[in-house]
Chain A
Amino acid sequence: MPDERIYLDYAATTPVDGRVRAAMGPYHSEKFGNPSSLHSFGQETRAALEKAREQVAALIGALPGEIVFTSGGTEADNFALEGIAFANENKGNHIITSAVEHHAVLHCCEFLKKRGCEITVLPVDGSGLVSPEAVAGALTPRTVLVSIMHANNEIGTIEPVAEIAEAIKSRVAGRESRVYFHTDAVQTAGHIPVNVNDLGVDLLAISAHKLYGPKGVGCLYVRKGTRLAPLLHGGAQENNRRASTENVPGIVGFGAAAELARSEMAEESKKLLPLRDKLMNGLLTRIPDVRLNGHPARRLPNNVNVSVKYIEGESMLLNLDLLGIAASSGSACTSGSLDPSHVLMAIGLPHEIAHGSLRFTLGQQTTEAEIDYVLEKLPPVIEKLRAMSPLYPGGKK
């Protein structure tokens, strides 16, 4: 293994930025008051909480009062879906979503289906795109919520969220009850511009650990006037929308990370785009029988996802790990479940091609030397595994 390990799994999680850690520091032991307390200990953490709320709101063009802090992306997605479903039962029970959503959305929809909701799961095209016309076409008078992610965590495809919002709006114009629109922006917030008004969404989920903030904290943006039932019942925190004493250090870190992302994201994607393209094109040109998964252009600036024919993903990951390279795969063998990733199946890949998927996600620390190292080390690994594969036609020569 080389001296330095190479981390290319930023979509799974990111390291906490040193400046974020410094901002959080005092909120563990020095400034520990309960933000709901009247005394000065409480006042200083209350102020920190509200500052973080402003920082996060500014990242997405929202009002501070529209930010509800949560324990992460999963809770934010569950809150949006269950919160809308339960608060609007008298209006309807139909939810529209897509086949490539994160499990935080899809498994929540399955739960709601058992509770009597009607769920429409829209298919995607071969590059992972949801069609705005298909969303509009699926609307019924009973529809209360549409949930389509901003960008996909596996294949990096950026969905036409603003166009979907437009399509919904023109289809339900004149209708009395509202159709709310939620987007999971866990993979985009802090990485590409996200503005709730430009996107036309009512709800939007963010997770701090994907943008160099701490794990276990995130938020749901809730547009003013949205009818939403709380998930947690108890105290009056978060304007009665989420009971429980706030995770002050985490929220402070989230705020700091959001502010840094706002000022640095343009620079970061300017740095990552050429590295992403170098890796993507390098893999596609240097290795035969490799295909790109996801959209070639409407794509996150840090995501490379390929399928390597004739071999399986876990065996590649193990070899890469021994070379000090951390990546991920959508193979069933890495998940212990029956099927490969639902996203790769949804874009129409045959099972054995989905099994051979590899995802590299780049970030702050990624250098060109690291990309060169991967491009040098991966081809021999693939050759070695292909030589072992009964599916590889080259092996018969």
Chain B
Amino acid sequence: MTGPYSAKVMDHFMNPRNVGEIPDADGVGQVGNPVCGDIMKMYIKVKDKIITDVKFQTFGCGAAIATSSMATELIKGKNIDEALALTNKAVAEALDGLPPVKMHCSVLAEEAVRAAINDYLIKTTGQGLPGFKPHDESLHKEVHGN
């Protein structure tokens, strides 16, 4: 009885990896839209450009929780550039796919990773990701359609 989701999505939803906060995080990113209410917050610890630890908190559907969980697994131990290359599609594929209407929940996960790294870069170099735009109306539309 997994509804519209793959066994892997249900596994990450029921047993999410890396849930929680990192009080002394090197970067924190929060994405989502207060209007739609889906919110994802990601914390990273970085050492020598390597993401040594990552945790998340998510308010959202099963797919939003599963994609957050999977995204943390995919970037843990990776360097910053590898993490920045993570796409929402890769997250969805790692979960054996998402139902089409939920595909865009994975966008939140990709954005949360980028937001956390952006925050880390600002804190350490004074300069964020070029062209990085925090979440806005367009992300909301990505996630929930029109």
Contacts and interface: CB of A to CB of B under 8 A. Distances in A.
Question: A354, A387, A390: which has the most chain B beta carbons within 10 Å?
Answer: A390
Chain A interface residue count: which class?
Answer: 20 to 34
Contact of A1 (B1, B10, B35, B60): B1
Contact of B57 (A337, A355, A395): A395
Interface stretch (B11-19, B75-83, B118-126): B11-19
A83 to B, nearest CB: 32
Contacts of A340: 37
A290 B8 CA distance: 31
B22 to A, nearest CB: 13
A1 B10 CA distance: 15
Interface in A200-252: none
Interface stretch (B38-46, B89-97, B128-136): B38-46
B101 A315 contact: no
Interface in A309-330: 310-312, 314-315, 318-319, 321-322
B109 interface: no
Contacts of B10: 318
A174 B141 CA distance: 51
19 contacts: A311-B59, A312-B59, A312-B64, A315-B60, A315-B61, A315-B62, A318-B3, A321-B1, A333-B60, A334-B61, A336-B144, A337-B145, A339-B36, A340-B37, A351-B34, A352-B34, A352-B37, A355-B59, A391-B39
Main secondary structure on B side of the interface with A: mixed
Contact of A389 (B3, B13, B59): B59
A304 interface: no
A390 B58 contact: yes
A388 B62 contact: no
Contacts of A354: 37
Given A321-B3, A388-B19, A390-B41, A351 B35 contact: yes
Contacts of A337: 144-145
Given A312-B37, A351-B37, A333 B61 contact: yes
A159 to B, nearest CB: 28
Contact of A355 (B16, B37, B65): B37
B146 interface: yes
Contact of A387 (B19, B37, B41, B64): B19
A332 interface: yes
B108 to A, nearest CB: 11
A333 B3 CA distance: 13
Most central of A333, A336, A340, A389 by chain B CB within 10 Å = A333
Given A321-B1, A321-B3, A332-B36, A388 B41 contact: no
B67 interface: no
Contact of A338 (B58, B60, B64, B144): B144
B60 A312 contact: yes
Most chain A CB inside 10 Å of its own CB: which residue of B60, B140, B145: B60
B39 A390 contact: yes
A331 interface: yes
Contacts of A387: 19
